[in-house]
Amino acid sequence: MNLLVIVPNGSVTIATSLFDTLIYSETLLKLNFCCNVIGDPSLSLKQRALVTDAARALDKAKMMRFDEKSGNFYCTELGRIASHFYIQYSSVETYNEMLRRHMNDSEVIDMVAHSSEFENIVVREEEQNELEMLLRSSCPLEVKGGPSNKHGKICNSYTVVHISWLD
């Protein structure tokens, strides 16, 4: 269950209703079935701890606000955007760390290159020559790291060249 998906659409606004929703989730049903823990009070405490920890982490990342006293969730614009565009929590954490008030285009693209959505992209030796040629001929911005490292390849090379073709 993805807490960031449930909160922005208004399905859950308070922690206690999320605990109730979690009881019927597929994961918990499997846990109950496999481990014969139906009605186990320690499982309920574990559920509450999981939800509370997730809510605290999302609150820290400014993706939602969590009032621990009342147990209420309040969605933020950042959380709505992340939910709508499937931006992972770890990417938002990266943006929060790297984002500054004044950044040039190269720095913004470099920040996006560090998104966790690009983790599985690999740098292949056979692509190096073509990427270097594209950077020399079609890239108006500075590419941090160049095409030889993962972040340089991901956004810096592909995105900058693509954006320059749009002009």
Percent of the chain with pLDDT over 90: 16
Out of 37, 57, 84, pick the residue that ends a domain: 84
**73 inside domain:** yes
Cα distances from 100 to residues 94, 111, 117, 146, in angstroms, run 12, 10, 21, 22
How far apart are the C-alpha atoms of 78 and 112, rounded to whole Å?
Answer: 15
Cβ neighbour number for residue 27 with a 10 Å cutoff: 9
**125 inside domain:** yes
Give me the mean pLDDT over the 106-125 stretch: 83
* Statement to judge: residues 46 and 113 lie in one domain: no
**92 inside domain:** no
**With contact defined as beta carbons under 8 Å apart, do 152 and 139 qualify?**
no
Pairing relationship of beta strands 72-75 and 64-67 according to DSSP bridges? antiparallel
Q: What is the reported pLDDT for 68?
A: 87
* Statement to judge: residues 18 and 80 lie in one domain: yes
Q: How far is CA 140 from the centre of its chain?
A: 29
Q: What percent helix, strand, coil does the chain show, rounded to 5?
A: 60, 5, 30
Q: What is the reported pLDDT for 20?
A: 62
* Statement to judge: residues 134 and 62 lie in one domain: no
Give me the mean pLDDT over the 18-44 stretch: 61
Q: What is the reported pLDDT for 149?
A: 72
Give me the mean pLDDT over the 7-33 stretch: 60
Q: What is the reported pLDDT for 156?
A: 55
Q: What angle is formed at CA 151 by the lines to CA 150 and CA 153, rounded to 5 degrees?
A: 65
